[in-house]
Amino acid sequence: MKMPGNMQNMMAQAQKMQQKMQEEIALIRVEGSSGGGMVTVKMDGHKNITGVKIDAEVAGDVEMLQDLVLAACNEATKKVDDETKQKMSGMLGGMGLPPGLF
């Protein structure tokens, strides 16, 4: 099916923006921490955990350690989501789409 020239241009532009967005997301790096920094989790833009730091003080208390790791992971995930959303709104803002669409 042949699309009108303007539609083809828009589709090509959208494809380029999607690729650029994926590249931007790949560059995101965040840290989430809990217990006043006793547990720190590093995460990339694809929500892969890239590092974990655990203070020796909490290593003996398994239940507390589990809670702190979970909280740090959740914080890092929220930071990735917030940063991704911010990048997307900045890129999509130039397209004239209604606010809140993405």
Bridge-based pairing of strands 39-44 and 29-34 is antiparallel
Tens of pLDDT, residue by residue over 23-69, are 999 999 999 999 999 999 999 999 999 999 999 999 899 999 999 99
pLDDT value at position 97? 55
pLDDT over 80 (residue 4): no
Q: Higher model confidence: residue 92 or residue 16?
A: 16
Question: Whole-angstrom Cα distance, residue 102 to residue 90?
Answer: 11
Q: Tell me how far apart the alpha carbons of residues 51 and 39 are, in angstroms, rounded to a whole number.
A: 11
Architecture of domain 26-85: 2-Layer Sandwich (3.30)
Cβ-proximal residues to 88 (8 Å cutoff; 6+ apart), any chain: 21, 102
Q: Which of 82, 99, 20 is nearest to 45 (CA)?
A: 82
Identify the band that residue 92 occupies on the pLDDT scale cut at 50, 70 and 90: low
d(CA 29, CA 44): 5
Domain ranges of the chain: 26-85
Asked whether the beta carbons of 68 and 58 are under 8 A apart, the reply is yes
Q: Is the pLDDT of residue 10 over 70?
A: yes
